[in-house]
């Protein structure tokens, strides 16, 4: 009754977490048909959802790694400048403050990435 392309679109949207009602509106397919497909293709949908989730995790981890790299470069730049200065300069206080703030940001990024890594380890 429906072509393979329609069913594939259903699988893709369902894997992305769309509701059956929303998919029915989008594909112009009766919700009862989607309930049947959902039951028949349960394992495939579960697998596709896992793949979708893994892709999102990889994007998040890559973004955190980029942010850590950027923060580390900025911290290195500030610490190099601090090494050149003596304590008699007033602006040195600001450099120490910036260095401490950057260290705090690095800690936040590291702590934020731990739960994702721990959950990935638990799944393996």
Question: What would the pLDDT profile of 101-110 be if each residue is shown by its tens digit?
Answer: 888 988 888 8
pLDDT at 87 (0 to 100): 54
Report the pLDDT value the prediction gives residue 84, as an integer from 0 to 100: 81
Determine if the pTM surpasses 0.75. no
Dist. CA 34–CA 52, nearest whole Å: 20
Residue segments in the chain with a per-residue pLDDT below the cut of 70 = 86-90, 113-124
Closest CA to 103 of 64, 65, 76: 76
- Quote the pLDDT of residue 37: 94
pLDDT at 119: 47
d(CA 108, CA 68): 10
- What pLDDT shows up at residue 9? 94
């Amino acid at each position: 009754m429906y072509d393979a392309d329609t069913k594939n679109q259903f699988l893709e949207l369902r894997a992305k977490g769309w509701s059956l009602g929303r998919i029915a509106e989008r594909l112009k397919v009766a919700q009862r048909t989607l309930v049947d497909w959902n039951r028949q293709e349960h394992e495939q949908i579960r697998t596709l959802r896992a793949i979708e989730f893994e892709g999102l995790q990889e994007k998040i981890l890559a973004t955190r790694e980029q942010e850590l790299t950027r923060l580390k470069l900025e911290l290195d730049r500030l610490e190099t400048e601090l090494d050149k200065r003596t304590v008699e300069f007033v602006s040195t206080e600001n450099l120490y403050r910036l260095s401490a703030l950057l260290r705090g940001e690095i800690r936040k990024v590291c702590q934020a990435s731990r739960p994702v890594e721990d959950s990935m380890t638990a799944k393996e």
